[in-house]
Structure 1
Amino acid sequence: MSANPEFEVSWHEARKLAHQAGNLTSTISLKLEQAGGFVLAADVVALGDMPPFAASRIDGWAVSGSGPWTRVGDALAGHEFVSQLNPGECVHIATGAVMPEGATAALKDEESSVAEQTVSAIAGAAGILDSEGALPFFHDVRPSGYEAKSGDVLIPKGTKLTPAIIGVAAAGGHDEVTVFKKLVVDVLIFGDELLTDGPSREGKVRDSLGPQLPLWISHIGAELHEVRHIADTLPDHFAAITNSKADLIITTGGTAAGPVDHLHNAIVDAGGEFIIDAVLVRPGYHQLMARIGKQFLIGLPGNPQSAVIGLLSLATSLIAGSTGNALPQLQERVLVTGLKGPAREVRLVLCSESGNSVTPLEHLDSSMLRGFVKADGYAVLPAGGAESGQIVQWLDLP
């Protein structure tokens, strides 16, 4: 182990340390269709007024002045009506089409009657005509710049790009966006007792972390390079760590001090420096974080639920810090059923959520995963536990 490890830190402090350790990644420009899941490295601004012209909100009629109105043409989306409307004239118009010059309002199809080429307002529209028979100015019209003016910030730096938000960038006129590069991750699975297929048998257990960690890594905003199973020997641990070129190495198992737990020695032999060496949380006490040159290593316990807690505690915090985001904030919920906890550590308990209340689930042991089937997140119980009706911190599952 290192000469001055941060040996035991609280769970809250561990999250802060991981977040502070992250250095901003470099930035790249990506086409919109490639940018999903990345974090913006620069504001996205409107490249023009949105919409760039006055547009109809509805399918119906673009009218000028007082009615009834005489139909003189059509204005379809993408096909601008080029002539100017004179008072008393109208054109049939589609939703989103450019309002013709001279148009003063739009009239819904369902609130109009048509007799040959004459259009009149009926139903609700008839009730809002003024004394001269005109609709309110720009009724059912989206003015130019109604959503945004040219130069307005549409999406701030630090926003994770979802499909809908990518649509906002496209509507603002962008073909590419500038984003932070994702951390590239190698996953090293330690444990000679693990099987990669079929049920547990012959004294060995099925590896449940190898299949799920790639999906977790994508969820939390990183990019997986590879998953490898590594033999339980110090030379194999050392070789796997030193051969990795990833920004972040995530290991599972071997974080304690058992007879085949070689991770600490491998980190030291690789020239690593411990940032965190144990976290006061249950499950998940034996999680760690180290820096090896320009790389980071996060060691997750081998028990499945402990590993997930380690990932959500350390990896999500590091990734947030590396992309210029604030440390993810915890929420608050009301605990329905009281539970005891250890004297020194916080306890993270899988719960289902209903409104502002959360209910602990079954199968909470650190070796179990069944609780995730109905879980919405983790209730964070203070040391000693929490009583029924007590307000506790809440960590959402991605």
Structure 2
Amino acid sequence: MEDGRTPGVSRGRQRRDDMPWDVARQLAHAAARPGAVVTRTLAEADGCVLATPLVSPVAVPPVDRAAMDGYAVRGAGPWRVIGHVPAGCADSGALEDGQAKGIVTGAAVPAGATSVVRSEDAVVTGGLLEGPSEDGRHIRRAGEECKPGDRLLPAGVVVDPAVLGLAATVGLNRLTVIPRPTVAALVTGDELVHRGQPGPGRVRDAIGPMLPGLITRSGAAQVGVRHLPDSLEELVSALQETSADLVLVSGSSASGPADHLRPALTALGAELVVDGVACRPGHPQALAQLPDGRLVLGLPGNPFAALVAFLTLGVAAVHRLRGLPLPVLPQVAVRGGIACHPTSTRLVPIRLTRQGAVPVGHGGAAMLRGPATADALAVVAPGPAEAIAARLLPLDPGSRPWAG
């Protein structure tokens, strides 16, 4: 079957209670609980989400500053050069009409300065400076970027390097944030090998190497990948031992004799939030909540199906754990159309061209060649014929949605 892990073992047809793909994403997002608000140093806050607005305590710049290397001047030229503004000097004295002082970018301009003449435009002869001048030119005025009390960013913004730089610019050392959630992965399967080429009856694990990058790109902190045999007892024990906010379990989400996820969840008193999704590939995926609030995501054993499940339920849950809204997926035209499934959403690897989305092929549940060469997945709604438009699901869960 499409999403089964072991060849020759029947997984059965899609169940009638497999829920629509969009509903499953919404439920996964709603089930997660954002982390507790903390304060972090700037170095620790990277990748977290602002829990409160970023408000400037100061004016930036605090005084008028030179925007270029050159000469601070007053009035119309030519100007008599009377010295240089030392780097870091807070008060270099005032200029009178017809006077100039050498200055470097970022230095406080002398009182009375009306503009800065760039070094490349300046001609100095016998202590006299000549060059183009326009009132206010090449001077950053005090408070030009922000004033005390200005709201620079709202809550809910992801802290990236530019945000860290802005926080430092206004003199902040710490930020109030929702921390990145932790995600652990349990990869099950007696048939899996983790190095080299598999022998007869064995399968090289492709999901284990894929998960750490998916976790970190989604904005979570990856806390380990653990390999388990097909054992109910070991799976229950592993789920009890991990303290991660979200636990991924691959290769155990279907209904075959080696699939122990649902019995393990029952043993732990978990509540199934999603038990099968009407999508191809990836329909055996599941999401459950343990009594302590931790989430468990069941990934199918086939690699592309597992990738689809993470992008469907995992990304939705991680966004909520980070305090972020469910990503909105943009629409794109489909060149030549993509065949619809009568009852399930199709996730199809595509390339983006000027004429629209074009399938790249190799989109079977066990195949990663298609997604590895694709720009995105086309989300094709169920229907009786072909879709001429679809939504775009990023293959990189950390990328921002395309515009238009």
- Counterpart CA distance in 1 for 2:136 and 2:263 is 73
In the other structure, the counterpart of 1:131 is none
Aligned pair 1:193/2:191, yes or no?
Answer: yes
- Counterpart residue type for residue 318 of structure 1: A
TM value normalised by structure 2:
0.89
Conserved? CA contact 1:188–1:228, under 8 Å: yes
Letter in 2 for 1:243: E
Deviation at 1:54, TM superposition (A): 0.9
Give the drift of 1:300.
0.8
Provide the C-alpha distance between the structure 1 equivalents of 2:16 and 2:183, rounded to a whole number of angstroms: 24
Q: How does 1:256-271 map to 2 (within 5 A)?
A: 256-271=254-269
Are residues 1:46 and 2:56 paired? yes
2:20 is matched with which residue: 7, 10, 22? Answer: 10
**Residue pairs, 1:208-247, within 5 angstroms:** 208-247=206-245
Taking structure 1 as reference, are residues 181 and 96 closer, same or farther at Cα in structure 2, changes over 3 Å only? same
Instruction: State the distance in 1 between where 2:144 and 2:238 align.
Output: 57
Deviations 1:109-149 (A, max 9, x none): 2222111210112xxx3xxxxxxxxx432122111111111
Residues in 1 aligned to 2:141 and 2:353: alpha-carbon distance in whole angstroms:
42
1:353 is displaced (CA, Å) by: 2.2
1:263-304 superposed Cα distances (whole Å, 9 cap, x missing partner)? 111111111111000111111111110111121111011111
Specify the alignment match of 1:94 in structure 2. Answer: 104
Pairwise CA distance, 1:387: 4.6
Question: What is the CA distance between 1:81 and its match in structure 2?
Answer: 5.3
1:6–1:274 contact (8 Å) kept in structure 2: no
Kindly tell me the number of residue pairs found equivalent between the two proteins. Answer: 381
Q: What residue ranges of structure 2 are gaps of 5+ in the alignment?
A: 1-14, 397-404
CA distance in 2, matches of 1:15, 1:251: 18
DSSP-derived class of the 2:235 partner:
helix
Quote how far apart the aligned CAs of 1:41 are: 1.4
Give the Cα separation in 2 of the matches to 1:387 and 1:77: 67
Is 1:58–2:68 an aligned residue pair?
yes
Is the Cα–Cα contact under 8 Å of residues 71 and 89 in structure 1 kept in the other structure? yes
Q: List runs of 5+ in structure 1 lacking aligned partners.
A: 126-134
Q: Is the 8 A contact 2:182 2:245 kept in 1?
A: yes
Q: How does 1:314-329 map to 2 (within 5 A)?
A: 314-329=313-328
Q: Secondary structure of the equivalent of 2:304? A: helix
Between 368-377 and 349-358, the greater mean CA deviation after superposition: 349-358
- Report the CA distance between 1:386 and its aligned residue: 7.0
In 2: Cα distance, 1:289 partner to 1:330 partner = 21
| Cα shift at 1:384 | 3.5
Aligned mate of 1:180, from 178, 199, 223:
178
Query: Which residue of 2 is the match for residue 32 of structure 1?
Result: 42
2:120 corresponds to:
110
Offset at residue 6 of structure 1 (A)? 11
How far apart are the structure 1 equivalents of 2:355 and 2:249?
A: 35
CA shift at 1:241, angstroms?
1.8
Instruction: Verify: 1:22 aligned to 2:32, yes or no.
Output: yes
Pairwise CA distance, 1:85 = 0.5
**How does 1:337-356 map onto structure 2 within 5 Å?**
337-354=336-353
CA shift, 1:235, in A, is 1.8
User: Partner of 2:247: helix, strand, or coil?
Assistant: strand
CA contact (8 A) 1:6 1:275 kept: no
Within-5 A mapping of 1:238-317: 238-293=236-291, 294-317=293-316
Higher mean Cα deviation, 270-279 or 151-160?
151-160
Contact (CA 8 Å) 1:85, 1:103: kept in 2 or not? yes
1:143 match:
141
Cα RMSD of the aligned pairs, angstroms, is 1.9
Give CA-to-partner distance per residue, 1:321-349, whole Å, 9 cap, x none.
Answer: 22321111101112124221321011111
Shift of 1:237: 2.0
Cα displacement (A) at 1:64:
0.5
Match of 1:120 in 2: 130
Contact 1:16 1:327 in 2 (8 A): yes
Q: Deviation at 1:89?
A: 0.2
1:76 to partner: Cα distance: 4.7
Moved more, 251-260 or 177-186: 177-186
Matched-pair contact (CA < 8 Å) for 1:333–1:394: yes
- Residue aligning to 1:128: none
Whether contact under 8 Å (2:335, 2:355) holds in the other structure is no
The DSSP-based 3-state class of the residue aligned with 2:59 is: coil
State, as a whole percentage, how many aligned pairs show the same letter: 35
Give the aligned partner of residue 78 of structure 1. 88
The TM-score with structure 1 as length reference comes to 0.91
Partners in 2 of 1:282 and 1:61 — Cα distance? 67
Tell me if the contact between 2:337 and 2:389 (Cα under 8 Å) persists in the aligned partners: no
Q: What secondary structure sits across from 2:379 in the alignment?
A: strand
What is the letter of the counterpart of residue 338 of structure 2? Answer: L
- Matched ranges for 1:310-389 at <5 A: 310-354=309-353, 357-384=356-383, 387=386
Q: After TM superposition, what 4+ stretches of structure 1 lie above 6 angstroms from structure 2? A: none
Cα distance in 1 between the residues matched to 2:304 and 2:152: 39
